[in-house]
Amino acid sequence: MSNSVSGFGRWIERTIRPLGAWALALSLGLLGGCGGGSDAAPTFGAADPNATLRFAFATGVTRFDPHRATSSYDNTWLFPVYDRLVHMDVDGQPVPGLALNWRYGSEGEWLEFELRPDVRFHDGSELDAAAVRANLVRARTVRGSAVGAELASVRDIEIIDALRLRLHLHWPDAALPLILSDRAGMMIAPAAFDDPTLDRHGVGAGPWRHVEFRMGNRATYERFEDHWDPDAAGVRRLELRLIPDETTRLNAVRSGQIDGTNLASLQIEQARLAGLTVMHRVGVEFLHIQLNRSASHFGDRRVRQAMNHALRRQAIVDALGLGYGQATVQPFPEDYVAFDPVTGRQHYGPDVERAKALLAEAGLENGFDFELIVPNISAYLPLYEAVSDQLAAVGIRTRARVLEGAQISERFYGAGESDAALVQWGGRPDPSQTIDLLFTPGALPNPGGHSTPEVERLARVARREIDPELRPAALVAATRAITEEALALVISLPPATFALQPAVAGFNTWISGNKPEFRGVVVRHRIGEGG
């Protein structure tokens, strides 16, 4: 009879035995970790210019053609290869990149860039006004462009001389400088435009040359010695790896297989106990229940306000994020240029009675049902259970539909299926991008295309206000209208969290969150165990 337990039984046995050994090793490791809190921390000397920096991320890259790359998280993998016209500092301000400076015409009818001289692409060709123009034309027109819509204000591109060019605009576009710090402003060597390998092998003018790419695994980069900024590439080699599982990523840093990674905030204490450098920052990424406001009852402002009142955001942040993160009703972090201090973070405080009253006003005293897409990622399930429980308390019942990431894009954004999705918005360099993409009609990230006339008007004003003195007020006004109309159902802003080997220095947390750049990051020589 034992014979008939057969292959499957033997397989179970084969699987269980190593698991047992692994569990034992893990528990010993944990014990060792607890007991081994020695105070003999290693000390480090100067940066090693020949070092290799190995960093892992949870999301991979769709393709190395920046104009056709579809995810904002592709940026992480593209930044080493591609410099942009405008760069962004860690706080989200535009700073000179390939362009030394830029200025608008008096009415915002054009935007002129002066380029950095003597810049070369990795293939040796010169980066001049003609190359930039060719890139911008391609970004708008290449088949399958993912950034063309962001350049909709550009009417024509005029070359003034070898290092100056002028973008003639349909309308004043205040977001353009920061849009050009994103994928739309990445400069590809023109000779590689039509190279079919561009999707797998990037050729730009960034601090590192692209050496190797293994889809679904890793990308390797090597310092570009002729880069215009000699301090940008602090390490000779850069290896970015894709490791989807958060536990595996943390273990890889702990064991020294990699030098750094992004983490979940749950893992902060664990990483600290392991002696790693931990950094976290709340940025422009946010978790939200994105409503298709043309579906279910979401076209009614009272319903959206009721849902906002139903959520107990701080409790969610405290329980599921262990207190890390910002509970807020606004799609921007506090102290950010577009944050509205008048409505504040708690405009819709948790208030079950108010929520029920609003639903009754909307003729829904018995509540209603809607379908909510939930990503098939372990971190989202407890979040779904928490929000569905809180919505149920005011009579709003959810039906979960669990989907993979790619299916969510296709089903929710592409086909307009389902009523809502529990997702994270990756944020954009310019606040007008987020406002326009999520809260005005016509953009892919706003399924159903719903908006209100007031929000549309204020969004347009904020996008077109090129006076840097006046723009913050315009952005704040747009955010206030979005909040008062309850167009968003924000849950919280989770912190982008990173764990690094102590030898790594110069790493920054960026307001863009999980899309860091590696300019100036170094790996230091280890000179021994200090006291």
Partner 1 sequence: MSEPNAAALDQLGASVSARRRFLRRFLRQRPALYALGFLVLLALGAVFAPWVAPHDPLAQNLDRVLEAPSFDHFFGTDELGRDVASRTLFAARISLLAAFQAVVIALLIGVPPGLVAGLFGGQTDNLIMRITDALMSFPPLILAVAIIAVLGPSLTNAMIAVGILLSPTFLRLMRGTAMAVAQETYVEAARSIGCSQSWIITRHILPNVVSPLFVQISVFAGVAMLAEAGLSFLGLGAQPPDSSWGAMVGRGFRYISHSPSLIVFPGLAIAVTVLAFYVLGDGLRDSLGREVRREQ
Measured from the CB of residue 6, what is the shortest distance to partner 1 in angstroms? Answer: 5
Residue from 88, 175, 187, 264 touching partner 1 (CB under 8 A): that is 264
Task: For residue 106, state whether it binds partner 1 (rule: CB under 8 A).
Answer: no
- Residue 8 touching partner 1 (CB under 8 A): yes
Could you give the CA distance from residue 412 to residue 292 in angstroms, rounded to a whole number?
8
- To partner 1, the closest distance from the beta carbon of 376 in angstroms equals 6
CA distance to 65, 304, 334, 386, per residue, from 393 (Å): 47, 15, 29, 11
Interface with partner 1 (CB under 8 A), residue from 159, 357, 360, 386: 386
Q: What are phi and psi of 92, to 5 degrees?
A: 95, 10
In the list 152, 357, 402, 443, the residue contacting partner 1 (rule: CB under 8 A) is 402
* Residue 112 within binding range of partner 1, rule CB under 8 A: no
Query: Minimum distance from CB of 215 to partner 1 (Å)?
Result: 19
Among 243, 320, 493, 522, which residue sits at the site for partner 1 (rule: CB under 8 A)? 320
Q: Answer yes or no: are the C-beta atoms of 178 and 430 closer than 8 Å.
A: yes
Contact criterion met (CB below 8 Å) for 284 and 428: yes
Q: Which of 21, 25, 100, 319 binds partner 1 (CB under 8 A)?
A: 319
Could you count the other beta carbons within 10 Å of the beta carbon of residue 392? 13
- Window 208-247: contact mask with partner 1 (x via CB under 8 A): --------------------------------------xx
Q: Which is nearer to partner 1, 2 or 106 (CB)?
A: 2
Q: Pairing mode, if any, of strands 420-425 and 368-375?
A: parallel
Name which of 159 and 322 has its Cβ closer to partner 1: 322
- Ranges within 346-385 binding partner 1 (CB under 8 A): 376, 378-379, 381-382, 384-385
Q: How far is the CB of 487 from partner 1 (least distance, A)?
A: 26
- Residue 207 contacts residue 232 (beta carbons within 8 Å): yes
Task: Choose, by CB under 8 A, the member of 4, 38, 106, 366 that binds partner 1.
Answer: 4
Whole-angstrom Cα distance, residue 432 to residue 463?
A: 6
Choice between 195 and 389, CB closer to partner 1 = 389
Cβ burial, residue 448 (10 Å; 0-12/13-18/19+):
middle
**Residues numbered 442-461 forming contacts with partner 1, rule: CB under 8 A:** none
Instruction: State both tokens at 433.
Output: 């991008």
Query: Measured between alpha carbons, how far is 378 from 355 in angstroms, rounded to an integer?
Result: 30
Tokens of 262: 């992004």
Q: Are 445 and 438 in contact (CB under 8 A)?
A: yes
Closest-CA residue to 509 (of 315, 324, 248): 324
In the complex, the residues that contact partner 1 under the rule CB under 8 A are 1, 4-9, 11-12, 15, 246-247, 264, 266-267, 269-270, 273, 312, 315-316, 318-320, 322, 376, 378-379, 381-382, 384-386, 389, 400, 402
